[in-house]
Amino acid sequence: MTNRRTAIITGSTSGIGLGVTQALAASGVNVTLNGFGDAAEIEEVRSDTARRFSVELRYSPADMSKPADIARMVQEAEAALGPTDILINNAGIQFVAPIGEFPVEKWNAIVAVNLSSAFHTTQAIVSGMKARGFGRIINIASGHALVASPFKSAYVASKHGVAGLTKTTALELAAHGITVNAICPGYVWTPLVAKQIPDQAKTRGVSEEEAKLALLATQPTRGFVEIDEVSSLALYLVGDIARSITGTCISIDRGWTAQ
Ligand code: NAD
């Protein structure tokens, strides 16, 4: 147990979640990491980050599509590191296909991981945050929480749902010192984006290079958002200075959703 701030960050073994973990750890926050991946690599990242920033880092292999796993993750995290001050709902998956052929199991998995997991984690931590009169909840949504693209029915629907969940939770918790916000990044070059390029190319009948350029065509500044831009915004939102920012969906998308 410790007097430091404590965070749970879902889907933090890769990409944006890992970047946010590093940024919070660097500012002295103890973190429960979560996500899939090679056990040895995860342990290396966990122990290196803990040592480098002199913080406590735990790893939970909980599957965010399973409510029982989520309940256990929160229970074990709080038993080991203390009450949760900061919750970052970041775990997310993608699948690209025309709606007529969209596999039902992919729809169910995307809604479970991208949307329902944020409901379950929030439900598990909210009474503790209310009792302590402090909390920061950040839902990593997407530009797709605000606008749509073809062939991403489940992802776009789940992310629009995250925007709605964010606003509702913010209103309910506003009087308790708890802020709830969504970060809506444009395209960030992470494994999630890299993995969808072959499917995009196949669905659109173009080369993989053309599919990559087509993604960037939606961002007027023609480039990917960097992970550290997203983690810096998250770091700002968890600070005391951001106490008046709640219920918002903050875009960091190189101008994409201004169109
Ligand atoms: P990523 O694939 O690099 O990381 C996703 C993380 O989620 C990994 O740690 C993975 O292990 C974890 N994960 C996946 N399924 C899980 C499950 N069932 N249970 C627990 N963990 C699970 O992806 P990323 O690009 O860093 O995406 C992170 C978040 O940012 C997602 O919610 C994504 O929708 C959102 N986002 C990404 C982009 C982008 O361009 N990369 C843009 C906007 C929003």
ipTM above 0.90, yes or no: yes
**Residue 3: its pLDDT value, please?**
59
46 and 76 together in one domain: yes
The reply to whether ligand 1 has any atom less than 6 angstroms from the CB of 122 is: no
CA distance 89 to 68: 16
| pTM assigned to the model | 0.96
Tens of pLDDT along 21-37? 999 999 999 999 999 99
Is residue 257 one of the residues assigned to a domain?
A: no
In a domain, 117, yes or no: yes
Verify whether ligand 1 is closer than 6 Å to residue 36 (CB atom): yes
Q: Does residue 181 sit in the same domain as residue 204?
A: no
Residues 195 and 134 reside in one and the same domain: no
What's the CA-to-centroid distance between 13 and ligand 1, angstroms? 9
Give the Å distance between the CA of 92 and the centre of ligand 1.
Answer: 4
Distance 253 CA to ligand 1 centre (A): 16
Give nearest CA residue, ligand 1 atom 32.
92
Q: What is the pLDDT of residue 212?
A: 87
Give me the pLDDT at residue 244, please: 98
* Domain presence at residue 259: no
Distance 28 CA to ligand 1 centre (A): 24
Question: 75 and 123 share a domain?
Answer: yes
Residue 139 — φ and ψ, nearest 5°?
Answer: -100, 120
Structure tokens at 169: 């939770």
Neighbours of 21 (CB within 10 A): 28
Q: Which atom of ligand 1 is nearest to the CA of 69?
A: 19
Tell me the sheet residues that pair with 92: none
Residue 205 CB partners (closer than 8 Å, separation 6+): none
Q: Which domain holds residue 219?
A: 188-224
48 and 161 inside one domain? yes
* Segment 136-183, tens digit of pLDDT: 999 999 999 999 999 999 999 999 999 999 999 999 999 999 999 999
112 and 27 in a single domain? The answer is yes
Question: CATH number of the domain that 134 lies in?
Answer: 3.40.50.720
CA-nearest residue for atom 8, ligand 1, is: 11
Name the DSSP letter for residue 256: G
155 catalytic, yes or no?
Answer: yes
Residues 29 and 155 reside in one and the same domain: yes
CA distance 238 to 72: 24
pLDDT score, position 112: 99
Percent of the chain at pLDDT > 70 equals 99
Q: Is residue 179 part of a domain?
A: yes
Whether residue 1 is predicted with pLDDT greater than 70 in this model: the reply is no
Q: What is the mean pLDDT of residues 208-237?
A: 93
Share of the chain above pLDDT 90, in %: 90
Residue nearest to atom 31 of ligand 1 (CA): 92
In a domain, 159, yes or no: yes
Do 168 and 40 belong to one domain? Answer: yes
- The larger pLDDT score, comparing residue 69 to residue 192, is at 69
75 and 60: one domain? Answer: yes
Mutate to test the pocket of ligand 1, among 69, 158, 190, 200 (most ligand atoms within 8 A of CB): 190
54 shares its domain with 108: yes
Is 88 inside any structural domain? yes
- Between the CA of 131 and the centroid of ligand 1 the distance, in Å, is 31
Q: Domain total for the chain? A: 2
Q: Is residue 256 part of a domain?
A: no
Exactly one of 59, 155, 187, 236 is catalytic; name it: 155
> Does 201 share its domain with 157?
no
Minimum CA distance residue for ligand 1 atom 41: 188
| pLDDT greater than 70 at residue 70 | yes
Rounded Cα–Cα distance for residues 161 and 139 (Å):
11
Q: What's the confidence (pLDDT) of residue 203?
A: 85
**In the structure, what pLDDT confidence band is assigned to residue 2 with cuts at 50, 70 and 90?**
very low
Does 137 reside within a domain? yes
Tell whether 48 and 162 lie within a shared domain: yes
Nearest CA to ligand 1 atom 33: 92
Instruction: Tell me what pLDDT residue 123 has.
Output: 98
